[in-house]
Structure 1
Amino acid sequence: MMTFLIYDGSFEGLLTAIYEVYALKLVDVRIITEKEESSQLFSTEMMITTNDDKANKVAKKITNILGSTGFRSLWKAMLSELPGTADIILSVVKYAISTGKNVIKDYGHPAVLALQETLKKLGREQHRMTAFVRFELAQDGVFYATIEPDFDVLPLISNHFRKRYADQKWLIFDLKRNYGIFYDLQRVITVEVHQTLPDNSPSLMRLDWDETEKEFQNLWKNYFKATNIVSRKNTKLHLQHVPRRYWKYLIEKQ
């Protein structure tokens, strides 16, 4: 009989669920969130309460086998939020524990291969966000940017922007997940917005822009228009490098 372990969607919650798989000696098991479909005949469901002690024990065991890099790969895969990712991670962990070896590059194993494919997708989205994020200067002196990535890549891009824009305050807000990262010239902190406007847009994003920001945007648009050579226009190639769904981040496309 299939057993569904339902967890809160956090990485610590997943590690707790993996702990229970071994503690309860479950064989036919799937790990899902409440949002995922679990209705099957002849199956049971168990709600998993995140437990830091259990999660830490599993984390230590995984790190001992896969190393810190392998463990981080499992954490990164969770950021994809793709259905079935928890089951893939469980399969990789079970394979690693059964062999006692670092299997993170054993692409002959279907779960390891699926994990690497997930990481590739995540890596592409991470790269695009670092390339296409455009900041705008508000009257409070903070540079703001909004994004709506397919995956939860904010934890992966924070270090890039902290190093690149170390001398200015900035905030990157994920509209899809309703949280952001703010750099105060010393550290990057996570911020959340709970109050929204009637149109469901976070009120934080309704800002008054600095007058110089408007001038710079106009200058950039004029520069982009002036340097665009119509005879050399290759829309197909352009879309390969800059997919249309990222145009909303680019000032020159507004």
Structure 2
Amino acid sequence: MPHLITHHSVVQYLFDGSFSGLLTAVFESYAARHCHVALFEQDKARNNFFDPVVIITTTPEKALRVWKGLKKKLTTALQVEYYSAFLAEDAAVMQQLFNYARFVFDHAAGAAANYGHPAVMAVQQMAQKVSRERHRMKAFVRFQKTACGLYIAAIEPDYNVLPLVRKHFKDRYADQRWLIYDRKRKYGIYYDLHAIHEVLIEAAAAGTVVHAAEMMLDASEALYSTLWKDYFKSTNIQERKNTRLHIRHVPRRYWRHLTEKQLG
């Protein structure tokens, strides 16, 4: 027997986890007049047989309408904050992003500055965490040159910050081809001297294949790595070592990707 959905019913929305999917869910909640929505990614749904379930089909046109509506309500800085919080890939924050959008649409201009609202506060706090991770990536990414001239770097950030550092690395390394690969999320960004493409583990967008042979380090790069490690060891005075302070500035999870830390 199908559930009877009333104005006060809690409805489970299952979406694909994408940003467009989130915005589509906001659109559908207004179209269906669902005021109380519990948002879940499709593979992380809560087993609650008492709540009706709606499968959200991601629709770019609907998502774009919602995003344009939010842009009218939010400053550019708040738009970046909203998207940054989404990149945390946190289930609880996904719900808060949904609630945030509903709150902003349902109230007058300036609602997004009401930090007494739980969704506004949650989005801001998570955006700050993602922003800190973005700054760390700018500081701790280490490129190594391959035999074919491609510069590569592997990262494993807590949050999906690659979309937020694209412009930084394009501007800083505009004269060389490079690839930054997120091992945790199994994708990367590849700059071909003209544009940035998202890449999977074997192939890049627009038909550009990043061959495994390109991963072989250039001889001069191997020498550079050795010299850098030797320099790091010679300047790392044991008597002045302050591990606690060092970890505060360079968390341990980044060490495996720093050339100077590969002391073996």
Verify same fold: TM over 0.5: yes
8 Å contact from structure 1 (residues 32, 84) kept in 2: no
Percent sequence identity over aligned pairs? 41
Aligned to 1:125: 133
Matched, 1:172 2:180: yes
Structure 2 residue identity aligned to 1:35: D
Shift in alpha-carbon separation, 1:173–1:21, aligned structure 2, 3 A: same
Alpha-carbon distance in structure 2 between the residues aligned to 1:47 and 1:14: 12
Structure 1 residue identity aligned to 2:63: A
Instruction: Give the root-mean-square deviation of aligned CA atoms.
Output: 1.8
State how 1:41-190 maps to structure 2 within 5 Å.
41-190=49-198
Alpha-carbon distance in structure 2 between the residues aligned to 1:137 and 1:36: 40
Shift in alpha-carbon separation, 1:144–1:235, aligned structure 2, 3 A: same
Alpha-carbon distance in structure 1 between the residues aligned to 2:211 and 2:48: 42
Task: Name stretches of at least 5 consecutive residues in structure 2 with no aligned partner.
Answer: 1-8, 204-209
How far residue 205 of structure 1 moved from its aligned partner, in angstroms, is: 8.8
Task: Name stretches of at least 5 consecutive residues in structure 1 with no aligned partner.
Answer: 196-201
Shift in alpha-carbon separation, 1:205–1:100, aligned structure 2, 3 A: farther
The one of 219, 230, 234 equivalent to 1:222 is 230
Structure 1 residue identity aligned to 2:111: V
What TM-score does the superposition give when structure 2 sets the normalisation length?
Answer: 0.88
Alpha-carbon distance in structure 2 between the residues aligned to 1:206 and 1:140: 6
Alpha-carbon distance in structure 2 between the residues aligned to 1:22 and 1:68: 24
8 Å contact from structure 1 (residues 105, 112) kept in 2: yes
Alpha-carbon distance in structure 1 between the residues aligned to 2:217 and 2:164: 27
How far residue 67 of structure 1 moved from its aligned partner, in angstroms, is: 3.5
Alpha-carbon distance in structure 2 between the residues aligned to 1:49 and 1:41: 21
Aligned to 1:38: 46
How far residue 128 of structure 1 moved from its aligned partner, in angstroms, is: 1.1
Structure 1 residue identity aligned to 2:200: E
The one of 193, 202, 220 equivalent to 1:212 is 220
8 Å contact from structure 2 (residues 153, 179) kept in 1: yes
The one of 24, 30, 34 equivalent to 2:32 is 24
The one of 232, 245, 249 equivalent to 2:257 is 249
What TM-score does the superposition give when structure 1 sets the normalisation length?
Answer: 0.92
8 Å contact from structure 2 (residues 24, 62) kept in 1: yes
Structure 1 residue identity aligned to 2:171: K
Aligned to 2:3: none
8 Å contact from structure 1 (residues 7, 17) kept in 2: yes
Shift in alpha-carbon separation, 1:131–1:233, aligned structure 2, 3 A: same
How far residue 194 of structure 1 moved from its aligned partner, in angstroms, is: 5.5
How far residue 238 of structure 1 moved from its aligned partner, in angstroms, is: 0.8
Aligned residue pairs: how many? 248
Alpha-carbon distance in structure 2 between the residues aligned to 1:71 and 1:57: 15
8 Å contact from structure 1 (residues 12, 51) kept in 2: yes
How far residue 203 of structure 1 moved from its aligned partner, in angstroms, is: 7.8
